[in-house]
Amino acid sequence: MTAKEHVAEYSAVLGELLREREKLLGTLDRVAALHGTARLIRETVGAKAGFVAELDRPELAVIRWMSGTRTDALQDLEVPVGQGIGGRVLALGQPVRVADYVSSPAITHQFDAQVRGEGLAAMLAVPIVARGETVAIAYAAMREPADFGDDAVLRMVEVAREAGTALHLAKVAETDRTAAVAGERLRMQSALHDSVGALLFSIGVQVRDLHADLHEMPGLEARLRRLEGDVSAAAGALRESLLALSESSPERALPVELAEHCRSFQARCGVPARFVQLAAVPPLDAERTALLVAAVREGLLNVEKHARASSVIVSLLPSDDGVQVVVADDGTGAEAVPGSGMGLRTLAERAARLGGRVSLVRDEDDGSTLRAWVPLVRP
């Protein structure tokens, strides 16, 4: 097999790995599943807009996740049971379609102003069901009067079925603490590490070996270097997937505050930031808790200022008879010497006074990892 054929083969394998990784994360993350469903509606049905209303309670849905919309007229719109096309779906538990929303006699018209504001006409809505219970409503819409045929309804039902499965798995990942779920997660983590991790390593080694054959093939070296970068990104994605599979414990003050910092960072920068608690941690006093929170805040600030990252993972875990937080990013732009900032030096001094430690290092496959550890308080 020639070097070019090797590159093509590895590119196809890597692309499939990344697609499977996105599917995995989507099923374990409720927000990703809902966002993905809105996009999938447009792709599958050929609609101009797709959106999803999530049930806040059995008789009320709220439209939060949208794709292809031009305005925010429908954003956070509350849809009670029986009202509009979504409310009719809630009442009937089955698909409802209208050729022209504002003139249809089959639905009520409390939301005509919002529909007109978005410029929609034909609409199809189906229930998203998880474990026999309607948990959301999927909508497809066109910007002109039209008839959604039976084939479109079947495709929407299939999208809703997949969404229901993904939302159920996300709920299990977030709330189910049984030994069976924990065991399955460990099995999945081990399988990912042993199979996908080993494959990525093998691909990287073989791609690097191909550099020896490049003398007579101008232009191929640049492609190989891009592929090496993709392998590195996939390795980082695998680490993120393994962290995303880790079980979270019930909310406590420290996890809640760390999760809030992640949400604030993501809203501010537009970079996905995921918080994962890897195991239950014992309670800490105020000074140790403040140090860990400050470390996460400093780590996120460092990523924001220097890293040019596409994702960040913040994890919390028990470690070495203490508690540790880790801020890991996949950025490529932090060129300053790790740990040289005033904020990090101050954190390290605070940690030392408590018998703890703080470190920031560059990872071999790009990105940086900040770790802060404090010992438990002894009675």
Percentage of the residues of the chain whose pLDDT score is greater than 90: 39
The answer as to CATH 3.30.565.10 being correct for domain 248-375 is yes
**Quick one: pLDDT at residue 72?**
86
pLDDT for 279 beyond 70: yes
Q: What is the CATH number of domain 1-247?
A: 3.30.450.40
What average pLDDT does the structure give for the chain?
79
Instruction: Give the separation between CA 146 and CA 224, rounded to whole angstroms.
Output: 49
- Residue range 150-159: average pLDDT? 95
**Quick one: pLDDT at residue 55?**
93
**Quick one: pLDDT at residue 82?**
96
Q: Give me the count of residues in the chain.
A: 379
- Containing H/E element for 274? strand 273-277
Are 1-247 and 248-375 in the same CATH fold? no
**Quick one: pLDDT at residue 341?**
61
**Quick one: pLDDT at residue 158?**
94
DSSP class of residue 314 equals E
Specify the range with the lowest mean pLDDT, choosing from 30-44, 218-232, 343-357: 218-232
Q: What share of the chain is helix, strand, coil (3-state, %, to 5)?
A: 50, 20, 30
Q: What is the DSSP string of 131-149?
A: TTEEEEEEEEE-SS-----
- Sorting pLDDT into bands at 50, 70 and 90, what band is 214? low
Q: Note the pLDDT tens digit of each residue in 64-83.
A: 888 999 998 998 899 999 99
pLDDT for 255 beyond 70: yes
User: What are the boundaries of each domain within the chain?
Assistant: 1-247, 248-375
Q: Which residues contact 234 (CB under 8 A, 6 or more apart)?
A: 14, 17, 18, 21, 200
- Sorting pLDDT into bands at 50, 70 and 90, what band is 179? very low
